[in-house]
Amino acid sequence: MKILFSKTAHDAGISAARVFADVLKKKPNAVVGLATGSSPIGMYDELTEMTKRGEISFRDVHSVNLDEYVGLTPEHDQSYNYFMHKNLFDRVDIKAENTNLPSGIAKDPTAECKRYDALIASMGGIDIQVLGIGNNGHIGFNEPADAFTKGTTLVNLTDSTIDANSRFFASRDLVPTRAISMGVGQIMKAKRILLIALGKGKAEILERALFGDVTPRVPASILQFAEDVTVCADEDALSVILEKHPEAVTR
């Protein structure tokens, strides 16, 4: 595992974009696993700039997103579909038909999970999977639980996640209580994983995830077993790691 230090969130976005761009340069038709949340926004901004400068292209790229809220239409401004269009898809040369997210409005969410699993399998696996980390250690929407999820799952969101995400909605009761999320097993199959963590609020959980026990109570802790993980984080998110394991951080 590589833990790359950045002084600021802006620099961490640039550092993450370099890791991501390297994959596209080596494999222009890569399958990329994408994430939402505030953490990857800086990376998406930089990838947009790199595309404008002609350094990379998404022309032959296929994407699969980690998750989507159940009950939100793709046009809803808090849906992850909307987020992806605004922050990346509408700004780069990716083909709309090559982008994929679970549908939040599928009549049968369980069937939608199966469809998504089959889709990922048919794409031949994920070359790079981008992740943020939730305050409780979740990845995608895989919440702390007794066991790691395997494939795409219909999840009940925890109170802490609903609280954390209520900042984006007019009121807490408008936050969806369920989501469809790629499973931890699928995330672990990605050839490369890029985890982005920003801000003081992530410092404790990031240290527990990367150095604590591997347990489904901290879903991101499974990344300790992944083959190829790069963590791009700012100084604030790294503060506990810098204190306890300074030797693990690359400056």
Residues identified as active-site: 67, 136, 138, 143
In Å, what is the CA distance from 223 to each residue of 2, 153, 201? 12, 19, 20
Comparing CB distances to ligand GLP, the nearer of 13 and 132 is 132
Q: Is 37 in the site for ligand GLP (CB under 6 A)?
A: yes
Residue 181 pairs in a beta bridge with 67, 153
Contact flag: residue 165 with ligand GLP (CB under 6 A): yes
Residues 65-104 that bind ligand GLP (CB under 6 A): 66-67
Taking CB under 6 A as the rule, does residue 42 contact ligand GLP? no
Q: Min. distance of Cβ 47 from ligand GLP in angstroms?
A: 16
Question: How far is residue 80's CA from residue 95's CA, in Å, rounded to a whole number?
Answer: 17
- With respect to ligand GLP, which residue has the nearer C-beta, 36 or 149? 36
Based on the shown chain and the rule CB under 6 A, indicate whether residue 221 belongs to the binding site for ligand GLP.
Answer: no
Q: Which range touches ligand GLP (CB under 6 A), out of 36-44, 87-95, 211-219, 240-248?
A: 36-44
Q: Note whether 35 binds ligand GLP by CB under 6 A.
A: yes
Ranges of beta strands (E only) in the chain are 2-6, 31-34, 62-65, 67-69, 99-100, 128-131, 153-156, 178-181, 193-197, 229-234, 249-250
Query: 193 near 223, Cβ under 8 Å?
Result: yes
Look up tokens 């506990």; give the residue: 240
DSSP conformation class of 202? G
Applying CB under 6 A, which of residues 13, 33, 42, 134 lies at the interface with ligand GLP? 134
Tokens matching residue 133:
């980390």
Which stretches of the chain bind ligand GLP, using CB under 6 A?
A: 35-39, 66-67, 132-134, 140-141, 161, 165
